[in-house]
Chain A
Amino acid sequence: MVNQTATQSTHQSVWEPRIVAYCCNWCSYAGADLAGTSRIQYPANARIIRVNCTGRLSPEFILAALDMGADGVLVSGCHPGDCHYTSGNLKLRARWAIMEKAIEQSGLDPRRVRLQWASASEAQIFADGVKTLIEQVRQLGPIRSEWK
């Protein structure tokens, strides 16, 4: 950590995307665990919040995160048909379609939010998903730039 001083100074001044990542306990949170266990390296911009099921998430949680200044929001759950609670992810998917429209109508770029399916064994898919969202958000710039 001694030789990190050089990067530290640049780190403070450069904008880095801040990502809120909601993960279901049974698939994607475990997938993220496996990414760690497998030492898959991905950017450190996302902060994972564990929920039991993506079905727990109403659009409010995604919109509130954007409102509070998140540059992007990731929701990662079990594949359709594999939900630990049989169908919570399908309920979330139904809400998601409407929410994306709402985000667009509000003037925000819907590419700031990402819904993905990653099972407990799909560590790489999870990590790639995080990376994809970060890259997307990086192109869009800080969310404050979209506030009118």
Chain B
Amino acid sequence: MKTMDAKFLLRALRPDGRDTADPLFAEALVQVGQDPALAAWLAREQQTDTALAAKLAEIMPPAGLRDAILVGARASRPRRAWWQQPLRLAAAAAGLVLVFSLIWLRRSAHAELASVGLHDLAAAHNDHQMHQTGVAQLETRLADGAGKVPAVLAGLDLAQLRAGGCRTITADGHTVFELCFNRDGAWYHVYAARAGDFSATVPQLAFATQGALAAATWADGDNLYAVVTDAGTDALRRVL
């Protein structure tokens, strides 16, 4: 190996010794052992590299960068989908059993079940990926602290939700649309369905809680709505 070729390789050798066992450098290092001039060059090269690495290590990140990374990344990390969490999965299963039981009861002429059914369905689906591009504008309006949720949803055309690719879930063959928004740090989940799919008689506005979840349901025109949050009933009332 020519000295020039050996130098070419050895310039990529880290001076801390971590690369000396790398076969790529083996021949060049053997040559270093046989060529005092090359050995002297490598010693100077590595001395310079060590010094420059130490100088570079003097550069310190701005104060606060670490905390900003930790807080920012933690806040932006997606929560795992509910079906990826064992406890949520169990809750979902229980909720769905309850929903279908209630739907079965409705068929048996027991009315006023839609709100409870939606509530439990909402509770089961409380945690999931948040953003939907096709209905982003509506979710943004829902997140706007100036508007009450029922007012924002008034006159909502469910067909437009479908056209916008809104996420849906199916209960007893009926489609339920799902929207999510955040106000003041709290997440809210809106469920919308055709009222006729769930009950002939619908309450004006009803509240319910299940564990840490608070839910409200109401009817507006042909639609039935439920909004669910884990931020508590007071937080729920503030958006209604």
Q: Do A and B bind each other?
A: no
